[in-house]
Structure 1
């Protein structure tokens, strides 16, 4: 399934449009595979934390160096967004279920 500016693929709303409806801007959604790999292997975070100007510069540079989903795998963009949305919806449903004691 490809992404279209109209957001419609084969008569259905595309995942790109769904993501935009959910407030996710694909241009700003960054996928840092190196960070993901390191976190999975070592259990550490490569996001710089702490107050100050230097920290914000480091995080800004890290963000600029990571490719967007569309640049990484254009033909899989919809699937990735769908996965992200399904994951977030699943997390939200779990929290609601636990809060209401209605699982």
Structure 2
């Protein structure tokens, strides 16, 4: 017998079988436009600067290049700030050497 939705009704004593749902893969939180490494970002920045300096580059393209360069520069600064917190200086003392936190002057 069909119910209101046109589906066949099951009797209480009938066993229901569940169809397994498709499993979703966890998504990475990295953006697809992020560089793979600091060095890759610097290389790309250098190329973008060359394109910006080219007088033949159209204005609309220059704006897109500038936006990408700005993103990469901020990305690199974030990497450098993280690394800076891990840097230590090896300072000579009377007893030998001592590690001190790196502080920007």
Same fold (TM > 0.5): no
**TM-score normalized by the length of structure 2:** 0.26
Considering fraction of residues, name the structure with more strand. 2
Greater CA radius of gyration, 1 or 2? 2
Greater relative contact order, per chain length (Cα 8 Å cut-off, separation 6+)? 1
TM-score (norm 1): 0.27
Name the structure with the higher helix share: 1
